[in-house]
Chain A
C-alpha cells in the first residue's frame, strides 16, 4: 500500500506524496528531470497510475540514448516544475504497465536500460521504524529508487533530498530537517566527515547505510566512533543484480559462510575466478540467472571482501600484477590518510605504473615521500605508487563515487 502521507523535503517541493501532483505523460515515457522535486513527482505519477516509466536526470539525456528510446516506443518527457514537454515515440507499441526502466551507470560502456517494477525495487520489507532519510543519489539511479520505494511503502519514512550543489553542506541541511537515517557511498561519508565533522557529530543518526563502492573497515570504524548508537549497514546493490547483500555487523565484507548458501528467497552468492556471482530474486527482468558482477573478491579471515572492479583492480607492472585495492588499503592504513584512489598509468618499459592520489586527515602533515616509504614497507616494489599526489579535498562525482 502506498504511504501517501509520508513527507518529501526537497529544494523545489516540501509536502506529502499526495500533495505532489502528477505529470500528464504518455503511457510509456522516459522522464528527464532537472531536480529531485521533479523526480519524485515522476515517481508518484508512476506509482499512482498504470504506465511504463523511466526516470533519469536530464544530464543523462544524450542524443544516442534518446534516439534509441523513441525508436523503442518510449516518448521523451522533459519536466519543468509541474509542466512537461513531450516528444512522442517514433515506434508505436503497447506499453508495459508497471514497468520501471533504470539506466545503468555506463561506467563500463554505453548505459543500458534494465527493467524493474516498483515491487522489484522495494527490497526493504517488513515493519520499519519511522525515520527521516537523507537521499543524495541521482534521480532515477537504483540507490535513489531504494530510498524512494522505502518512503512509498513504509509509514513514517520521510525523505530529505540533497541536490548536487548542496552536497558540500548536506550535514547542515540534515540537521535542520531532522534527518535520522542516511545512505551514501564511502566517498560521500568520508568527504562529509572531513568537511563538516562538527556538524556531523550533532546529527542524531540511528541508521547509516553505505554502498556503491567497496566499503572498507576504516570508514565503518570511523562512523561507529561518531555514531556509537547507530546501526551501520553496507549494501551491495546494482540496477542489474538488485539489492543482494546487506551486512549490519559493522564489519567490512560478509561472512564466508554466506557463500553458496541457499536460504528462502535470499540471493545466492558465489565466487568464480575471484569474481562475485549473484543469483538474485531482485535482479532486473531479462538478466542472466547467474549474474557475473565484474567485482573482484578476496576471502580474508573468514570474511568475503569486495575489493574493486576486476577490470581496473589489476595493474600490470612489467608483468607483475599489482592490486589497486591492496595499494589503496595500505595507504588507508596510514594514520594520516583519510581517502585514497589508486590507478594504473601508462608508462614506458613496464607498461603501467601504480599511481595514487590521497587526501590527508585534517591537520596531518605526511609527505609523499613518507607515504611511499610506508607503502614500500608493506607492498612489493612494483606495487608501491611512484607518482603520489596529495589533494586538498576528496573529488566526488554526481554518482557520489570517486571511481576507486
Chain B
C-alpha cells in the first residue's frame, strides 16, 4: 500500500480546516482546541486519507492516546497508514 507523506497529510488537514473557514498554523505544536480542529474535522481528515489511498484503514490500530496538537494528528495518521 502506498503511503502519504507527513507533508501531504498536513496539506489535507489544512484543506479540512479551510472547508470550515479556519486556518492551519505553521507551528505543529499548536493546540487543536485553539485552532478549532474538532472530532468531526479529525474524522473527515481520516476519511480523506482513506479515499486518497483507496483503502480502508484500521482506526483502532494505533491504540488509545491523547491527540491534542497538530503534531499528534499527523503522528496518528502516519501510524494508521503503517498499521
- Give me the interface of A with B, judged by CB distance under 8 Å: 317-318, 345-350, 353, 355, 369, 372, 381-382, 386-387
Partner of A381, one of B40, B43, B51, B56: B40
Partner of B46 from the list A317, A347, A355, A381 (CB cut-off 8 Å) is A347
Which residue on chain A has the smallest CB distance to residue B18?
A369
| Closest partner residue, chain B, to A348 (CB atom) | B59
Contact of B47 among A317, A381, A382, A386 (CB under 8 A): A386
Known A-B contacts A372-B19, A387-B51; A348 and B46 likewise in contact (beta carbons under 8 Å): yes
Nearest-neighbour CB distance to chain B for A60, whole angstroms, equals 29
Query: 14 A–B contact pairs at CB < 8 A?
Result: A317-B40, A318-B39, A318-B40, A347-B43, A347-B47, A349-B39, A349-B43, A353-B40, A353-B43, A355-B47, A372-B19, A382-B40, A386-B43, A387-B47
Distance (whole angstroms) from the CB of A54 to the closest CB of chain B: 38
Q: How large, as a class, is the contact surface on chain B?
A: 10 to 19
Report the bound CA distance from A349 to B80 in whole Å.
14
Q: How far is the CB of A150 from chain B (nearest CB, A)?
A: 46
Residues on the B chain within 8 Å of A346, using CB: 56, 59
Q: Name the residue on A nearest B46 (C-beta).
A: A348
Q: Which residue of B lies closest to A384 (CB)?
A: B40
- What are the residues of chain B within 8 A of A353 when measuring CB–CB? 40, 43-44, 47
- Grouping DSSP codes into helix (H, G, I), strand (E, B) and loop, the A interface class, with mixed when no group exceeds half, is mixed
Residues of B within 8 A of A (CB): 19, 39-40, 42-44, 46-48, 51, 56, 59
A364 to B42, CA, bound (A): 31
How far is A332 from B42 in the complex, measured between Cα atoms in Å? 27
Please indicate which of the listed interface residues B43, B44, B46, B56 has the most CB atoms of chain A within 10 Å of its own CB. B43
Whether the Cβ atoms of B44 and A386 lie closer than 8 Å is yes
Chain A residues whose C-beta falls within 8 Å of the C-beta of B46 in the assembled complex: 347-348
- A211, B12: Cα distance in complex, Å: 42
- In the assembled complex, which residues on chain B have CB atoms less than 8 Å from the CB atom of A318? 39-40
Known A347-B43, A350-B40; judge A387-B19 contact (CB<8 A).
no
Complex: A386 Cα to B44 Cα, angstroms = 6
**Bound complex: CA A170 to CA B47 (Å):** 38
Q: Please, which residues of chain A bring their CB within 8 A of the CB of B48?
A: 387
Q: CA A308 – CA B39 in complex, angstroms?
A: 27
Find the residue from A317, A345, A386, A387 having the highest chain B CB count within 10 A.
A386
Docked Cα-Cα span, A372 to B56, in Å, equals 24
Beyond contacts A382-B40, A386-B47, A387-B47: 18 other A-B pairs, Cβ-Cβ < 8 A, are A345-B47, A347-B44, A347-B59, A348-B43, A348-B59, A349-B39, A349-B42, A349-B43, A350-B40, A350-B43, A353-B40, A353-B47, A369-B19, A372-B19, A381-B40, A386-B40, A386-B44, A387-B44
Question: In the complex, how many angstroms separate the beta carbon of B15 from the nearest chain A beta carbon?
Answer: 10
Q: How far is the CA of A372 from the CA of B47 in the complex (A)?
A: 16
- Measured CB to CB, the closest approach of chain B to A368, in angstroms, equals 9
B43's nearest neighbour on chain A, judged by CB, is A347
* Contact residue among B19, B42, B51 (Cβ-Cβ distance under 8 Å from A348): B42
Contacts of B44 in A (CB 8 A): 347, 353, 386-387
Give the CA-CA distance A369 to B15 in the complex, in Å.
11
Query: How far does the alpha carbon of A349 sit from the alpha carbon of B40 in the complex, in Å?
Result: 8
CB distance from A320 to the nearest CB of B (A): 10
- In the bound assembly, the distance between CA atoms of A350 and B40 in angstroms comes to 7
Residues of A close to B56: CB separation below 8 A? 346
Closest chain-B Cβ to A350's Cβ sits at a distance in Å of: 5
Chain A nearest CB from B33 CB (Å) reads 15
Q: Which residues of B contact A381 (CB under 8 A)?
A: 40
Bound complex: CA A179 to CA B82 (Å) = 58
> In the complex, which residues of chain A have a beta carbon less than 8 angstroms from the beta carbon of B42?
348-349
- Give A389's nearest chain B residue, CB to CB: B51
Return chain A residues, CB-CB under 8 Å to B51. 387
CB distance from A377 to the nearest CB of B (A): 13
B57 smallest CB distance to A (angstroms): 8
Complex: how many Å from CA A292 to CA B29?
Answer: 54
Q: How far is the CA of A382 from the CA of B46 in the complex (A)?
A: 16
| Whole-angstrom CA separation of A387 from B19 in the bound complex | 11
Q: How far is the CA of A382 from the CA of B47 in the complex (A)?
A: 15
